[in-house]
């Protein structure tokens, strides 16, 4: 059986928490498609091309992982690529409510698509894209929480946004 899973998210930017879920997902499924949500309601720090590029570089050593853009409804995408599973990660109780709602909605939209959750690894349970952007924006060192090629780009983006403050 060819088990294909889709791991959707905004990845703004990719963190070591995401990488942990990707590595574990790659071991569980034959193929894992990391789907980067574009045209989001929320404003992102990194434009779509950067979020895709940083992720692609992060997974280049994982042969059964690919990165794609996700435009439109997740369940439509999942069915288009013939995947049966949506992969998501959960950190704390605070993630649960949103994840539960989304999984339930997706199930109503497409009953045959299952959402599979992986519990955050204890080493990454406190890492979120939102928090590492906050740390970087306040002049803190966010490099321990992101892949090595992401650190310098995060600092540069934040500096650009701050217009040189905290430098």
Task: Give me the least distance between CB of 112 and ligand ADP, in Å please.
Answer: 20
Task: Out of 42, 82, 108, 111, pick the active-site residue.
Answer: 42
Q: Which among 23, 47, 39, 19 has a CA at the least distance from the CA of 149?
A: 19
Q: Which among 35, 56, 18 has a CA at the least distance from the CA of 149?
A: 56
Task: Out of 24, 53, 91, 107, pick the active-site residue.
Answer: 91
Do 65 and 34 contact (CB within 8 A), yes or no? yes
Angle among Cα 109, 102, 33 to the nearest 5 degrees reads 85
Estimate the crossing angle of helix 48-58 against helix 150-162, to 10 degrees: 160
Do 21 and 55 contact (CB within 8 A), yes or no? no
- Does residue number 147 form part of the binding site for ligand ADP (CB under 6 A)? no
**Residue choice 17, 25, 147, 151 for contact with ligand ADP (CB under 6 A):** 17
Rounded CA separation 153/140 (Å): 14
- Does residue number 88 form part of the binding site for ligand ADP (CB under 6 A)? yes
Q: Name residues contacting ligand ADP, limited to 31-70 (CB under 6 A).
A: none
Q: Which among 147, 110, 103 has a CA at the least distance from the CA of 15?
A: 147
Task: Give me the least distance between CB of 95 and ligand ADP, in Å please.
Answer: 5
**Residue choice 48, 50, 66, 95 for contact with ligand ADP (CB under 6 A):** 95
Mark the segment that binds ligand ADP (CB under 6 A) among 59-67, 71-79, 127-135, 152-160: 127-135
Active site residue 18: yes
Residue closer to ligand ADP (CB basis): 123 or 166: 123
Residues noted as catalytic? 18, 42, 91, 129
Residues near ligand ADP (CB under 6 A) are: 9-11, 15, 17-18, 21, 88-91, 95, 120, 124, 127-129
């Amino acid at each position: 059986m060819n088990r294909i899973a889709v791991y959707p998210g905004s990845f703004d930017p990719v963190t070591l928490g995401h990488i942990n879920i990707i590595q574990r997902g790659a071991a569980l499924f034959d193929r894992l498609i990391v789907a980067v949500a574009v045209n989001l309601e929320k404003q992102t720090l990194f434009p779509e091309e950067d979020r895709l590029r940083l992720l692609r570089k992060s997974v280049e050593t994982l042969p059964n992982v690919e990165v794609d853009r996700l435009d439109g409804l997740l369940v439509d995408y999942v069915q288009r690529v013939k995947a049966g599973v949506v992969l998501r990660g959960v950190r704390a109780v605070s993630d649960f409510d949103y994840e539960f709602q989304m999984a339930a909605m997706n199930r109503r939209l497409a009953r045959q698509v299952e959402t599979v959750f992986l519990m955050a690894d204890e080493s990454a349970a406190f890492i979120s894209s939102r928090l590492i952007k906050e740390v970087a924006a306040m002049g803190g060192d966010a490099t321990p929480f992101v892949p090595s090629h992401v650190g310098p780009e995060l600092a540069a983006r934040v500096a650009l946004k701050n217009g040189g403050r905290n430098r």
